[in-house]
Homo-oligomer: A and B are copies of this chain.
Amino acid sequence: MSHPHPELGPPPPLPADGLRIVPLGGLGEIGRNMAVFEFGGRLLVIDCGVLFPEPDQPGVDLILPDFDYIRGRLDDIEALVLTHAHEDHIGAVPYLLRERRDIPIVGSRLTLGLVDVKLSEHRLQAVKVEVAENERRRFGPFDCEFIAVNHSIPDALAVAIRTPAGLVLHTGDFKMDQLPLDGRLTDLGAFARLGAEGVDLLMSDSTNAEVPGFVTSEREIAPVIDEIFRTAEKRIIVACFASHVHRVQQIMDAAQRHGRKVALIGRSMVRNMGVARDLGYLKVPPGLLVDSREVEELPPESVVLICTGSQGEPMAALSRMANRDHPIRIAAGDTVLLASSLVPGNESAVNKVINGLSRWGARVVHRGNARVHVSGHAASGELLYVLNLTKPSNFMPIHGEWRHLRAHAKLASLTGVPEENIVIAEDGVVVDLVDGRARIVGAVPCGYVFVDGTSVGDITDVALKDRRILGDEGFISIVVVVDSTTGKLAGGPEITARGSGIEPEAFDAVIPQIEQALHEAAASGVTDPTQLRRTVRRTVGRWVHETYRRRPMIIPVVIEV
């Protein structure tokens, strides 16, 4: 992935009247969304999110966009515009600010509120520029107009960027719930107005481009939740995303109707809902909330817990309840509601949680057996509306894996965007808008940047490959001490193995072979440690493969004394 279109070379210089767009994340994957716009030597960045690792990226905490492309030009950045406050759009902001602290951060009130608490955890402070829908603000050469869009977090924005090169509409993430809980609709009127003015390039959310039809309204979950509350015998435990203010609002409203108290569990849930409440996005009926410790004192039938862990995260409260490793002891009569999507990659973990809860007798309600979740992303029916309203001259699908980008490109083609004006790019691919035409002109290196513990970027593909081998096969380390002048064995072989599935005693069989090989090496005058290591590796590798048909990592260590 470091250079996605291998046939693409570095881009040519950008013409003076051209706009350059370089996605540094979010194209070819779902997550770490980030796009860099360049005009007249100045930069505008849209979003700066994180990607969560796949099973073949073991031990990685987060994956960041690759800042390499802008690292030498941080002072050229006029602003970082955040379309909304989901992790895959804001999660990497602290890492970017570490490189330049005073990049102005532009976003809606809730977005900035949630970014703020995140930054303060990293001991960072933002230079904030609050904007709202229908507002127009200039950042250097970038004349930005903000447009309300509906999504699974309140206060999301699309942004139209006008430069002398043309008008680009970036939708951010959106859907088109026509009966949203907060009454704030995706502003199709604005999309139509921009369409009439002339959209030179539409960049639109592809996440659900493969899904036929339309996303159901968030409102339609309410009767399902009510029915669950009506039939719940004991505790109700709801797991959902810590940013889904409207989902939490629906649960709180149901709790209020059914005479139950609510406790919030999980650091990010407590933190985000505090911000949402303070800023007026979450309405909490007086007396509804109780402390999570009080909950254990209350009768089970008068309690609702709202927690994180809907993705099966092993350390979250929900997983620990499923494993009976939590003060809340799940029992027959309890109802657990997973009111969230199932993020690809988490299927096994969530299945484990559902089985664990089922085993202890809980009723588990999830999107597989009840309509307790609706997606936050426009399905293909909605995407067609946006394409038809904005009538873009050029189209570039964003925010999706290849399957989603291709599906969205096909929708654009069906609405009449000429094939040659549809640009399917992936991370690092450079797209120039020049003379009203968007074209791929080259690519810049754009790798995965892994966060592991406190370090950023130390974990390389080599380290991950080593981890995969170690994780699958374990290792065998063989230490020998040799006399540096004669090459003769002076200590060892000392064998240590982990994860190899070979019992310590079994190595007794290979030790004479190692001794013999070293003896022969010494006899023929070999004293070079590199050659001795190779001898040891070959001897042990052959033995393991012949005896066990396995290929653990073999680590020979030769110490000269």
A557 at the interface (CB under 8 A from B): yes
Question: Within the assembled complex, what's the spacing in Å between the Cα atoms of A181 and B466?
Answer: 49
- Provide the A365-383 mask, 1 if CB < 8 A to any CB of B, else 0: 0001100000000000000
Asked if A467 is at the interface of the complex by the 8 Å CB criterion, the answer is yes
Chain A interface: which size bin?
35 or more
| CA–CA, A58 and B559, complex, Å | 32
Give the 4 A-B CB pairs with smallest separation, nearest first: A471-B471, A453-B549, A59-B472, A470-B470
Quick one: closest B residue to A545, CB to CB? B453
Taken together as a complex, chains A and B put the C-alpha atoms of A351 and B479 apart, in Å, by 43
Contact yes or no, A498 B553, CB < 8 A: yes
A to B CB contacts below 8 Å, 7 in the list: A458-B548, A460-B501, A466-B474, A467-B473, A468-B471, A470-B474, A498-B553
Asked if A179 is at the interface (CB within 8 A of a chain B CB), the reply is no
Q: How far is the CA of A388 from the CA of B397 in the complex (A)?
A: 53
With A347-B345, A499-B466, A500-B463: A494-B559 Cβ-Cβ less than 8 Å: yes
B-side contacts of A502, CB under 8 Å: 458
- B59→A473 contact, CB < 8 A: yes
- Is the CB of A358 closer than 8 A to any CB of chain B? yes
Interface residues of A in 423-468 (CB under 8 A from B): 450, 452-455, 458-460, 463-464, 466-468
A503 within 8 A of B: yes
A473 CA to B498 CA, complexed, in Å: 13
- The reply to whether B494 and A454 contact each other, CB–CB distance below 8 Å, is no
* CA distance in complex: A467, B355 (Å): 24
Whether B557 and A477, one on each chain, are in contact in the complex, defined by CB atoms closer than 8 angstroms, is yes
Residues of B within 8 A of A56 (CB): 348
Q: In the bound complex, do residue B559 and residue A498 qualify as a contact, i.e. CB atoms below 8 Å apart?
A: no
Contact status of A498 and B466, CB under 8 A, knowing A347-B347, A358-B402, A479-B479: yes
Q: Which among B347, B356, B499 is the interface contact of A463 at CB below 8 angstroms?
A: B499
B residues in contact with A354, CB < 8 Å:
403
Question: Judging by beta carbons under 8 Å apart, are B474 and A463 in contact?
Answer: yes
Counted per complex, copies of this chain come to 2
Among A368, A498, A499, A557, the most chain B Cβ lie within 10 Å of the Cβ of A499
A548 neighbours in B (Cβ, 8 Å): 452-455, 458
User: Contacts A344-B348, A348-B345, A403-B364 given: A498-B555 contact, CB under 8 Å?
Assistant: yes
Complex CA distance for A553 and B459, rounded to whole angstroms: 16
| Other 4 A-B pairs with CB < 8 A, given A54-B348, A454-B548, A498-B555 | A59-B474, A345-B347, A358-B401, A471-B472
Q: State whether the Cβ of A275 lies closer than 8 Å to any Cβ in chain B.
A: no
Question: Counting chain B CB atoms within 10 Å of each CB, which of A345, A368, A479 scores highest?
Answer: A479
The dominant DSSP class at the A interface is mixed
For the complex, what is the distance from the CA of A458 to the CA of B501, rounded to whole Å? 5
**8 Å CB interface, A390-444 against B:** 401-403, 406
Identify the A interface with B (CB < 8 A): 28, 54-56, 58-59, 210, 344-345, 347-348, 351, 354-356, 358-359, 361, 364, 368-369, 401-403, 406, 450, 452-455, 458-460, 463-464, 466-468, 470-475, 477, 479, 481, 490-492, 494, 496, 498-503, 547-550, 553, 555, 557, 559-561
Cβ of B492 and Cβ of A559 under 8 Å apart?
yes
| Complex CA–CA separation, A355 to B557 (angstroms) | 42
Complex Cα–Cα for A455 and B344 (A):
33
Q: Are A59 and B471 in contact (CB under 8 A)?
A: yes
In the complex the two chains form, is B475's CB within 8 Å of A559's CB? no
Residues in B with CB closer than 8 Å to A473 are 59, 467
Q: With the chains together, A467 CA to B345 CA distance in Å?
A: 20
Q: Complex Cα distance A28/B351, Å?
A: 12
Q: Smallest distance from the beta carbon of A313 to chain B beta carbons, Å?
A: 14
In the complex, the answer to whether B402 meets A494 with C-beta atoms within 8 Å is no
Cα-based distance from A348 to B55 in the complex (angstroms) = 8
- Chain B residues with CB under 8 A of A403: 351, 354-355, 358, 364
Task: Provide the residues of chain B in CB contact with A460, threshold 8 Å.
Answer: 501
Nearest chain B CB to A512 CB, angstrom units: 18
Q: Distance in Å from the Cβ of A456 to the closest Cβ of chain B?
A: 11
Report which of B464, B470, B555 forms a contact with A467, defined as CB distance below 8 A.
B470
**Residue in B closest to A369 when the chains form the complex, CB atoms:** B210
Closest chain B CB from A545 CB (angstroms):
9
Roughly how many angstroms separate A28 CA and B356 CA in the complex, as a whole number? 10
The smallest C-beta distance from A380 to any residue of chain B, in angstroms, reads: 11
**Contact of A344 with B351 in the complex, beta carbons under 8 Å:** yes
Question: Is the CB–CB distance between B401 and A355 below 8 Å?
Answer: yes
User: Which chain B residues lie closer than 8 Å to A472 at the CB level?
Assistant: 58-59, 467, 471
Which chain B residue lies CB-closest to A351? Answer: B344
Question: B residues within 8 A CB of A477?
Answer: 477, 496, 555, 557
Please measure, in the bound complex, the distance between the C-alpha atom of A477 and the C-alpha atom of B249, giving whole angstroms. 52
Chain B positions within 8 Å of A547 at CB level: 454
